Structure 1
Amino acid sequence: MPLNQIFHPSGLSKASVVLLAGLLATCLFYCNVAKAERSTEAAIPLQPIVDSARTGERISLEPGTYSGPVRIDKKLTIDGNGAATLLNTGPDEPAAVLILADGVQLENLNIQQNNDGEAAAVRVEADRVTLQGLVIHSAGYGIVLREADGGVLSGNKIRWFIPPGEAPGLRGNGIDLYNSHGAEIRDNDISYLRDGIYLENSRNTVVDQNKLSYLRYGVHCMYINGSKVTNNIGEYNITGAMVMGVTDVVVSGNSFRKQSRNVHSQGILLYDVRNSTLTNNLVEGNRVGIYMQQSSDNVLQHNLVLRNYTGIQFENAEGNRFQRNGFVANVIEAQATGSRDNEMNGNYWDAFEGLDLTGDGISDLKYAINPFYQQLVTRNAAYQLFFQSPGMTFLSDMYTSGTAQWSTDSAPLMQLDAGAVTTDQASGGQGTVMVAGWLLMFLSVITIIYLGVLRL
């Protein structure tokens, strides 16, 4: 690759460009915050402006610093125009902005919430509230919805914040919903908090096109029947998506990469999930790509499981349909214990040496997931030291106990199904690696030439 292409922005991955843009935006925000703190005494109280407005009125804030907290108990539209900052430094305040009226719209406002713990930058206790284009730095929670239906949260940036001179407090969640149904959560950018998007007992929720990084769980779902988690990007979290206790949920088109900082890290964790679909997801570079436990009657198809330590792990998962998924360059492709009656066929396993006598692209040999190693290390973790050793491989090949109960792909593919994932997803993150590789090679060549000249 020519050097002008290596250093051209097109040579970088989309994730790298987004990361650089995020760092720049964060730096600019902190510069604005520092400027605002120097003028805290001159901040304009926002509550009197809200109190004097009539129901249904639109308030367009002038550039400057405003002081909170503020309580909104009538239908208003408040637009900060991207140049107004609300500071909430008062102790023991539950929220910088408390919304109690239906139909309120809060847009393009910078919010700094100095209180940690249960305190939130924005707390909503009303229906059909729109929060759009907010830039939130919070020592506690970002946005909290409580019994608030039909909310729209889009285009917000939420970061953890440590007030100057204070010790780090208890991190809250970026977006936190409880008993709030029919919400749309789209195109938000959340990082460095506890959970990025936490949903509990909130049905028919849409979580789409959000960017989630450096969190415990990128998306944390509990009892959100009839909901969709689609097209999100999660990186450097402990777990990309934790889906628990749900029915009729769609998890599709997501990219969960590099969840490997913890011994329990997974790309996608499914626990007690029923009648749901997991399709067209990319899980790459995680400790475990997909972990399914105590889940049944689900469909997993067209997912690409790439470069994980363990590709997929089943535990007490029964009656699931698993087909047209691709497993590439995983250290351990699959593990399964206590998992019966799963319909598994038409998947691609790159470590499996199949045999296609008919030329139809499907192996005439079955692929069985041998549970020997998993059962052995479960009883004695010290045996992990012998992972992929010749002796362990020999013993695994010799182990044939209960083969009728093993999870088996009855018709494994000979080649990766192109429909498993898009080309862009599969190549995500390779730009940065390619840049580093070319630079290292270039430096190596220069070093060799230099040393050769010295010897002459």
Structure 2
Amino acid sequence: MKLIYNILFLLLLSCCLPAVSEATSPLQSKIDEAPNGATIKVEEGEYEETVIISKPVTLEGTGKVLLRSCENEPVVTILNKGVTLKNIMVEHCGNEKEDAAIYVTGSYHILEKLNIKTKHLGIRLDNANDVTIQDSEIMGINRGNGIDLWKSNRNRFENLTITNVSDGIYLEQSDENILHRNNIQKSRYGMHLMFSNDNILDGNVSKFNTTGTELMESKRTVVRHNQFTSNNNSVNAQGLLLYLASDTEVTGNEFISNRVGIFIEKAENNRLKANKIMDNFTGIQFLKSNGNKAMKNTFVGNVNDAQAIESSNNQLDGNYWDAASKVDLDGNGKSDIVYTADPYFLTLTADVPEYQLFFQAPGIIMLQNMLKSPFEQLLIDSAPLMDMTMEVKKEQSSSFSLWCMSAVMIVASCSLFIVGRKKR
């Protein structure tokens, strides 16, 4: 009797096996079986697996599709040519330092409408060319880069939101890439280019990072119409850092409320034109840099407009300085009074930070006129503009806020002093 029960159980199990196998068929099988050019629709749900796509197919989620893996390999690997990945959430929870949620090599791939969460790298491009990544979000925990390029050229990154990563978009030995209308926040570097040439950074927002963007040993970069705002959470923070960079075009950008708006170090032959440099602690700073040009920029509300250390032959002609004395006798739109940017106040506050409370106080201005900085630290604009080159909103700038803060602190100090004397 027991033998009969065992036989019946085995027959029942054999009948059920095909259905179970079909129900648990991995997504990888569908990819492998699809012909070139096919669109593979992924039904709504969570998929705990990794996939490799090595032929020109489209993998598209319908509804909320989550691919998730904690393995020491990418959740999605894209190879060869012509792969499209669309409308999918990807979560990588692996703990290896070099883990990436998505690994891409090859060319002419399209990644769009993705939502990526990762403990380390978001998307890694390794020898990947002519790839488009757009309309997507990447969120990390400050351990790896959002998008990481290695020897990858002519790629386009557009309309991406990247937060809480190490570097938002990192390029190394990668040329002719376009970074357009991306929003990068709460990271170490917003955009970070190393040994990469002929790239375009256009219309991006880099905010609340340690450094908005760094260009290191990179040539012929175009930086235009970007917003570098509130990159001031560190003593080494700046909106844009040009380090050993050359032939850079920085045009039509906004540098607002950074510790240093533009920091140029050991860099030559860069051109800054028609930028708004507003409400920074230091507007522009040169360190061991020569032969750079700044023209038609608007400097408003900066604690210290400009500083140069061990730098020479930097041309600052035809900029608007709100702190400049302006007299235009011949009506050519340029002041007849030369503007000299003296970093005396910056030098003073470096030794005694509390002196920042006396920003633009009459006594400090008098001391600055009496005790000028060394000539080599002065930056001179021989033809400062009478009018701004860029529109500045009619809102209270940080200089007004600093005035208010100074007044409050002085009143509080006087009150404490008076109360202390009365107690005696």
State the TM-score, normalizing by the size of structure 1.
0.76
The Cα shift of 1:407 comes to 2.2
Matches within 5 A, 1:47-446: 47-90=28-71, 93-116=72-95, 117-160=97-140, 171-374=143-346, 381-387=350-356, 388=359, 393-400=365-372, 403=375, 406-417=378-389, 420=390, 426=393
Structure 1 residues 171 and 429, CA gap change in structure 2 (3 angstroms)? farther
Q: Distance in 2 between matches of 1:402 and 1:386?
A: 20
Larger radius of gyration: 2
Q: Distance in 1 between matches of 2:91 and 2:35?
A: 26
Q: Which moved more, 1:202-211 or 1:260-269?
A: 260-269
The Cα shift of 1:335 comes to 1.4
Structure 1 residues 234 and 97, CA gap change in structure 2 (3 angstroms)? same
Give the letter aligned to residue 107 of structure 1.
K
The Cα shift of 1:200 comes to 0.9
Q: Is the 8 A contact 2:91 2:101 kept in 1?
A: yes
Q: Is the 8 A contact 2:309 2:376 kept in 1?
A: no
Q: Distance in 1 between matches of 2:347 and 2:303?
A: 17
Structure 1 residues 394 and 138, CA gap change in structure 2 (3 angstroms)? same
SS of equivalent residue, structure 2 residue 128: coil
Give the letter aligned to residue 153 of structure 2.
H
The Cα shift of 1:405 comes to 7.1
Give the letter aligned to residue 94 of structure 1.
E
The Cα shift of 1:265 comes to 1.2
Give the letter aligned to residue 76 of structure 1.
V
The Cα shift of 1:254 comes to 0.2
Give the letter aligned to residue 274 of structure 1.
S
The Cα shift of 1:234 comes to 1.5
SS of equivalent residue, structure 1 residue 51: helix
More contact order relative to length (CA 8 Å, sep ≥ 6): 1
The Cα shift of 1:183 comes to 0.6
SS of equivalent residue, structure 1 residue 49: helix
Structure 1 residues 189 and 404, CA gap change in structure 2 (3 angstroms)? closer
Instruction: Name the one with the larger strand percent.
Output: 2
The Cα shift of 1:107 comes to 0.9
The Cα shift of 1:75 comes to 2.1
Structure 2: tracts of 5 or more residues without a match: 1-22, 398-424
Deviation track 1:109-142 (CA, whole Å, cap 9, x = no partner) reads 1111111421111001211221111111111111
Q: Distance in 2 between matches of 1:136 and 1:398?
A: 58
Deviation track 1:281-332 (CA, whole Å, cap 9, x = no partner) reads 0111111111111111111011001111111111122111210000111111
Structure 1 residues 72 and 404, CA gap change in structure 2 (3 angstroms)? closer
Give the letter aligned to residue 382 of structure 1.
D
The Cα shift of 1:393 comes to 4.0
SS of equivalent residue, structure 1 residue 322: strand
Structure 1 residues 429 and 49, CA gap change in structure 2 (3 angstroms)? farther
The Cα shift of 1:346 comes to 1.0
Give the letter aligned to residue 148 of structure 1.
A
Structure 1 residues 43 and 327, CA gap change in structure 2 (3 angstroms)? farther
The Cα shift of 1:375 comes to 5.5
Q: Distance in 1 between matches of 2:193 and 2:203?
A: 16
Q: Distance in 2 between matches of 1:412 and 1:104?
A: 54
Q: Is the 8 A contact 1:323 1:346 kept in 2?
A: yes
Q: Is the 8 A contact 2:304 2:346 kept in 1?
A: no
Q: Distance in 2 between matches of 1:50 and 1:184?
A: 26
Q: Is the 8 A contact 1:297 1:318 kept in 2?
A: yes
| Aligned positions, number | 371
The Cα shift of 1:80 comes to 1.2
The Cα shift of 1:229 comes to 0.5
SS of equivalent residue, structure 2 residue 217: strand
Q: Which moved more, 1:125-134 or 1:385-394?
A: 385-394
Structure 1 residues 72 and 428, CA gap change in structure 2 (3 angstroms)? farther
Q: Distance in 2 between matches of 1:427 and 1:383?
A: 32
Structure 1 residues 187 and 398, CA gap change in structure 2 (3 angstroms)? same
Deviant stretches of 4+, over 3 Å? 371-377, 383-395, 399-406, 426-430
Give the letter aligned to residue 236 of structure 1.
F
